[in-house]
Amino acid sequence: MDIEGARVLVPGAGGVIGSALASRLHGLGARVALAGRTPAPLARAAATCGGAPVHRIDAYDLEGCARTVPWAADALGGLDAVVVCVGVAGFGPAHTVPDSVAEHLLTVNALAPMAFLRAALPVVPRGGALAAVTGVVVDAAPAGMADYAASKAALAAWLTAVRRERRRDGVAVLDIRLPHVESGFAARAVAGSPPALPRGLTVAEAVDEIVDALHRPAPAARRPG
């Protein structure tokens, strides 16, 4: 995808990675629309993006997440990409995780990103991108992260199926599996304490990976037969 001039919705733009990504995209010439839960971080992110339009969201309001897509398309005069940076961490052995926490992790990490991207499927044109940040926990679920890893794996499986469904459309469907990032994300877990983690990527390095993924072309459409 050509980022310069692209119209991009960033759900989760009030978070550390989401705000840094929005700022980077703005600096590369994209026009961004920002969605997030908390007003103050969103306002700061908007200020760094030239007064970008802002929309409040609640990940538990899946219909509200979906409505963010037409809002962004209207605010930007169209939509070329959606990059979902919404997420929350949770830790602890599976038998200690309350069902309410498991539901929270699945809703925020899987169902809400799906709602944004599902609504964007008929909107984003050929050459655009639909992307979400999952994580390396999808490939190797660590002990003490069963429910968190399961929520990310659910989103990854959905993205894989959608990629196969849309492979002829010329739209990139991206599962961006970042390793641990030194963003403070793990320390803000809704349950439990993070295990000892190796030193992770800086936020700038994580944004580099997301931008690199957006730059890659969508797979060529297969000819019938």
Quick: pLDDT tens for 146-193.
999 999 999 999 999 999 999 889 999 999 999 889 888 877 888 888
Residue 44 has pLDDT above 70, yes or no: yes
Nearest alpha-carbon partner for 83 in 206, 221, 219? 206
Instruction: Quote the pLDDT of residue 224.
Output: 38
Stronger pLDDT, 223 or 176, i.e. the higher one: 176
Write the CB contacts of 27 (distance below 8 Å, at least 6 apart in sequence). none
Global pTM?
0.93
| CA–CA distance, 63 with 41 (Å, rounded to integer) | 23
Beta-strand pair 172-176/81-84:
unpaired
pLDDT digits (tens, 9 = 90+) for 84-138: 999 999 999 999 999 999 999 999 999 999 999 999 999 999 999 999 999 999 9
Q: If you average pLDDT over residues 61-67, what whole number do you get?
A: 97
Q: Give the whole-number percent of the chain exceeding pLDDT 90.
A: 82
